[in-house]
């Protein structure tokens, strides 16, 4: 296959040309060449093998340059062929289809057998003409139209080249049906000449190959040479395919579309900063390798910096990290302040208007939170009636959208009123991320109210408070599996609107929140953006174990919140 034919929309998924009826394809190409009294290496043909499996190949000379294989191409007797992935993924998310079921349809029980109950086209046509009802005849005609249209369409797709197509050949077991091949040929007329070679020539092809090897030995290519040549060609193609164009994702989206990944969040932050101004972030306790790496990524990668940084803490240790990661401490993009009390130093800078945001580095969460609340109160900048709460925005490989978890870091055992304010903070974040009408799952150990499980009673009461709310959907109690796994929701026959598709998990307390936080990041391959929001200046709050990538996303989240709320003018 040529390199262009191998490409898909995902770099990891390259087509390899497998799964086609090559013996018959190549034999038919040579056979048609001899009938036309032309050399096979001079012709450009398309051969469509239509049998129990269906594959289509384009021959340029004696080489197959592109192929539609018998598994992910045309539906066949017992294979589903190409399917709309968006619909399949939605059915999987909704619990109506599982991956094992999808494999079953793809390889064994899809296609004609699922559509009609038989894998035999001839039996289907025979039943249509003798014994079928009117509705059954209509269904059979519909299926025949579907198959003939797909085959003709696939042939057309392989013809999209600059060279002239000499002939289209229909071959294979189903090609014995003159009625069916006439349907296909009519769809190709008048664009291409189409001929029918019924049946299959693979056995004759093998015998011919044996005879050629015996009597015309130079006809046989050197296997080792051909193998090594193909390997070199593939390696070169894959180097080109893996070549980075934009090293960092370069998203172009409409302004109010939902943010669906943390890469999009980072890109959004760069765009907002470019429109306003670059904020200055104080990393409190900057003797933290991942925090310094995140600062470098935020300042130096991409077309626009997300932030400038003041690194506060032990001068010697911070300077050593800056040297190690090639950070130029220039007093503008990066500066270092030596301090034994980094929280107080950072808040002094904030009060003096020299920094815009705080980021937790190597200090404890309790230190930065207590110090910030005290100073904001003294400054009169603590918003009345509000509380600080932590919002974690998770990107999970197996989840189709961003998932917010709150509160996993600040409020140990919130009462109902505090939970309401925690939810308001999380809803503010979803609004900033353009997530409309978010689904809020109030988490408990069970999904039904149980007097012996206190969190379930509280969750039920809390959900009732939001029963008439139009801007969000709040349901509880919900167990974690029902909230984020459609299969569990379907299996447990949960009847609410949140069936494994929650946007926000409102946790019963900090212990449950922290367990979910750690489980997602450690065991599920998730990465996240974390910030403390609600009462004043957003605080970039991450765990010491979070990666540099998560810390970069957290910086981006806090900058987006501050810019959209007007905290940074």
Instruction: Give 498-553 as a 3 state SS string.
Output: CCCCCCEEECCCHHHHHHHHHHHHHHCCCEEEEEEECCCCCEECCCCCCCHHHHHH
Same domain? 187 vs 272: no
Flag whether 44 is in a domain. yes
User: Do 545 and 400 belong together in one domain?
Assistant: yes
Is the same domain home to 354 and 426? yes
Assess if residue 445 is contained within a domain.
Answer: no
Spatial contact of 335 and 307, defined as CB atoms under 8 Å apart: no
Please measure the distance between the N-terminal and C-terminal CA atoms of the chain and give it in whole angstroms.
Answer: 56
The 3-state DSSP class for residue 104 equals helix
Q: What is the pLDDT of residue 152?
A: 94
> pTM for this structure?
0.68
Q: What φ, ψ does residue 385 adopt, rounded to 5°? A: 75, 5
Please report where in the chains the tokens 């765990």 appear, as a residue: 543
Q: What pLDDT score does 253 carry? A: 65
Does residue 463 sit within a domain?
A: no
What pLDDT is stored for residue 315 in this prediction? 93
Q: 274 and 399 share a domain?
A: yes
pLDDT tens per residue across span 550-566: 888 998 999 999 988 87
Whole-number pLDDT of residue 544: 67
Residue 420 lies in a domain: yes
Q: For position 63, which CATH number holds? A: 3.30.420.40
Task: Provide the pLDDT for residue 252.
Answer: 65
- Name the DSSP class of 11: T
Q: What is the rounded distance in angstroms from the CA atom of residue 361 to the CA atom of residue 287?
A: 7
Q: Which two tokens stand for residue 369?
A: 């939170």
547 inside domain:
yes
Count of structural domains, the chain: 2
Domain finish residue from 200, 234, 252: 200
- What pLDDT is stored for residue 247 in this prediction? 62
Residue 205 included in any domain: no
Q: Are residues 431 and 552 in the same domain?
A: yes
Tokens of 505: 């998990």
- The last residue of a domain, from among 200, 219, 238: 200
173 shares its domain with 315: no
- Ranges of the chain with pLDDT below 70: 246-253, 255, 544-545, 569
- Look up residue 60 and give its two tokens: 């340029």
308: containing domain: 262-438+503-565
Compute φ and ψ for 402, nearest 5 degrees. Answer: -70, 145
Element at 285 (helix H, strand E): none
Nearest alpha-carbon partner for 285 in 337, 360, 344? 360
Residues 8 and 100 in one domain: yes
If asked whether residues 424 and 542 sit together in one domain, one would say yes
* Domain membership flag for residue 483: no
Q: Which residues contact 533 (CB under 8 A, 6 or more apart)?
A: 388, 389, 391, 425, 428, 429, 539, 561
- Cα Dmax for the chain: 98
Helix, strand or coil, per DSSP, at residue 248 = coil
- HSE (side-chain half, CA atoms, 13 Å) at 331: 0
- DSSP lists the bridge partners of residue 67 as 57
| Residues 143 and 274 both lie in one domain | no
Domain co-membership, 84 together with 161: yes
Determine the pLDDT at residue 428.
94
Question: Where residue 288 sits, what CATH number does that domain have?
Answer: 3.40.718.10
- If asked whether residues 276 and 136 sit together in one domain, one would say no
Whether 160 and 285 share a structural domain: no
**Final residue before a domain boundary, out of 200, 215, 236:** 200
In a domain, 75, yes or no: yes
């Amino acid at each position: 296959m040529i390199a262009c034919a191998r490409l898909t929309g995902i770099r990891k998924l390259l087509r390899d040309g497998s799964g086609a009826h090559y013996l018959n394809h190549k034999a038919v190409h040579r056979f048609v060449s001899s009938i036309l009294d032309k050399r096979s290496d001079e012709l450009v043909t398309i051969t469509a093998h239509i049998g129990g499996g269906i594959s289509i190949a384009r021959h340029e000379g004696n080489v197959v340059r592109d192929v539609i294989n018998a598994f992910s191409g045309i539906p066949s007797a017992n294979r589903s062929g190409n399917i709309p992935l968006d619909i399949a993924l939605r059915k999987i998310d909704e619990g109506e289809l599982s991956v094992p079921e999808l494999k079953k349809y793809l390889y064994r029980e899809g296609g004609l057998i699922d559509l009609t109950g038989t894998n035999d086209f001839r039996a289907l046509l025979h039943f249509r003409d003798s014994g079928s009802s009117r509705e059954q005849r209509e269904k059979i005609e519909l299926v025949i139209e579907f198959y003939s249209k797909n085959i003709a369409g696939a042939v057309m797709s392989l013809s999209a080249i600059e060279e002239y197509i000499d002939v289209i050949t229909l071959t294979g077991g189903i090609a014995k049906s003159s009625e069916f091949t006439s349907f296909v040929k009519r769809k190709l007329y008048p664009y291409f000449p189409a001929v029918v070679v019924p049946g299959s020539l693979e056995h004759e092809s093998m015998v011919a190959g044996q005879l050629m090897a015996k009597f015309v030995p130079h006809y046989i290519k050197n296997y080792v040479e051909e193998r090594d040549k193909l390997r070199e060609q593939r390696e070169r193609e894959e180097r080109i395919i893996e070549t980075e164009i934009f090293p960092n994702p370069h998203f172009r989206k409409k302004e109010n579309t939902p943010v669906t990944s943390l890469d999009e969040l980072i890109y959004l932050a760069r765009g907002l900063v470019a429109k306003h101004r670059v904020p200055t972030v104080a990393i409190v306790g900057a003797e933290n390798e991942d925090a310094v790496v995140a600062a470098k990524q935020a300042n130096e990668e991409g077309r626009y910096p997300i932030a400038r940084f003041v690194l506060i803490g032990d001068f010697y240790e911070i300077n050593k990290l800056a040297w190690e990661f090639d950070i130029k401490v220039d007093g503008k993009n990066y500066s270092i302040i030596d301090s034994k009390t980094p929280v107080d130093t950072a808040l002094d800078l904030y009060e003096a208007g020299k920094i815009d945001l705080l980021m937790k580095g190597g200090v404890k969460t309790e230190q930065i939170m207590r110090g910030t609340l005290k100073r904001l109160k003294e400054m009169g900048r603590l918003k009345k009636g509000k509380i600080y709460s932590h919002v974690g925005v998770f990107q999970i490989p197996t989840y189709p959208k961003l998932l917010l978890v709150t509160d996993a870091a600040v409020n140990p055992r919130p009462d109902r009123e505090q939970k309401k304010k925690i939810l308001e903070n999380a809803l503010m974040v979803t609004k900033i991320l353009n997530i409309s009408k978010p689904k809020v799952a109030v988490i408990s150990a069970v999904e039904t109210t149980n007097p012996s499980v206190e969190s379930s009673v509280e969750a039920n009461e809390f959900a009732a408070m939001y029963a008439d709310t139009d801007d969000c959907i709040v349901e509880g109690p919900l167990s974690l599996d029902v909230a984020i796994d459609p299969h569990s929701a379907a299996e447990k026959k949960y009847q609410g609107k949140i069936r494994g598709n929650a946007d926000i998990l409102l946790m019963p307390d900090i212990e449950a929140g922290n367990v979910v936080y750690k489980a997602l990041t450690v065991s599920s391959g998730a990465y996240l953006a974390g910030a403390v929001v609600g009462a004043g200046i957003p605080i970039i709050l991450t765990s010491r174990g979070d990666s540099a990538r998560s810390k970069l996303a957290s910086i981006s989240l806090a900058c987006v919140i501050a810019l959209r709320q007007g905290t940074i003018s």
